[in-house]
Copies of this chain bind each other. A is one copy, B any other.
Amino acid sequence: MTEPTVSALSGLKVLDLSRFIAGPHCAMLLGDLGADVVKVERTKAGDDTRSLGPYIAEESIYFMMFNRNKRSLTLNFRNPEAQDLLRRLVLEADVLVENFRPGTMEKMGCGWDDLHQLNPKLIMARLSGFGQNNSMSAEPCFDGIAQAITGFMDLTGDPKGSPMMAGTFLIDYATALHATVGILAALNHRNKTGEGQVVDVSLIGGAASMLMTAIPEFLVNGRCMTRGGNRDRYAAPANTFQAKDGVWLHMIAGNNAHFPRFARMIGQPELLEDPRFDTLEGRMTNVEAIEAVAAEWIAQHTADEVLAALRRAELPSARIRTIEEVANDPYMREARHIIDVVHPKAGVVPMQGPPVGLGTTPSTVRRPPPMLGEHSDEVLRQWLDMPEGDMRRLRDATII
A327 and B219: CB pair below 8 A? yes
In the bound complex, do residue B64 and residue A216 qualify as a contact, i.e. CB atoms below 8 Å apart?
yes
Copies of this chain in the oligomer: 2
Distance in angstroms from A362 CB to nearest chain B CB is 9
Q: Which residues of chain A in 167-196 are interfacial with respect to chain B, using CB atoms and an 8 Å cutoff?
A: 167-170, 173-174, 177-178, 180-182, 184-189, 191, 195
Interface check A164, CB cutoff 8 A: yes
Q: Judging by beta carbons under 8 Å apart, are B144 and A250 in contact?
A: yes
A314 at the binding interface (Cβ < 8 Å): yes
The stretch that binds B, out of A77-85, A231-239, A292-300, is A231-239
List, in ascending order, chain B residues with CB within 8 A of A108's CB: none
Tell me how far the C-beta of A280 lies from the nearest C-beta in chain B, rounded to whole angstroms: 7
Is A185 in contact with B238, judged by CB distance below 8 angstroms? no
Interface string of A191-234 (1 = CB under 8 A from B): 10001011111101110111111111111110111110110101
Is A316 an interface residue when CB atoms closer than 8 A count as contact?
Answer: yes
A149 touches B (CB below 8 Å): yes
**Cross-chain contact of A331 among B130, B206, B316 (Cβ < 8 A):** B130
| A383 adjacent to chain B (CB < 8 Å) | no
Contacts of A33 in B (CB 8 A): 181, 185
Q: Is A355 within 8 A of B152, CB to CB?
A: no
Contact with B along A353-367 (1 / 0, CB 8 A): 111111111000000
Please judge, given known A-B contacts A144-B238, A335-B204, whether A186 and B358 are in contact too, CB under 8 Å: yes
Indicate whether A164 sits within 8 Å of B229 (C-beta atoms), given known contacts A148-B318, A174-B174, A201-B355: yes
Residues in B whose Cβ lies below 8 Å from that of A181: 29, 33, 177, 180-181, 184, 356
Determine the chain B residues whose CB is within 8 A of the CB of A213 once the complex forms: 54, 61-62, 65
| Interface residue? A321 (CB, 8 A) | yes
Of A154-162, A270-278, A387-395, the stretch lying at the interface with chain B is A154-162
Contact (Cβ within 8 A) B185 A9: yes
Is A315 among interface residues, defined by CB-CB distance under 8 A?
A: yes
Among all A-B residue pairs, the 3 with the closest Cβ atoms? A155-B167, A184-B184, A156-B167
Q: Which positions in A face B, CB cutoff 8 Å?
A: 6, 8-9, 12, 29, 33, 48, 51-54, 56, 61-62, 64-65, 112, 129-131, 134-136, 139-142, 144-145, 147-158, 161-170, 173-174, 177-178, 180-182, 184-189, 191, 195, 197-202, 204-206, 208-221, 223-227, 229-230, 232, 234-235, 238, 240, 248-250, 252, 255-257, 280-281, 284, 311, 314-327, 331-332, 334-338, 346, 349-361
Known: A53-B280, A200-B357. 6 other contacts (CB 8 A): A48-B255, A52-B280, A129-B316, A164-B167, A168-B211, A178-B355
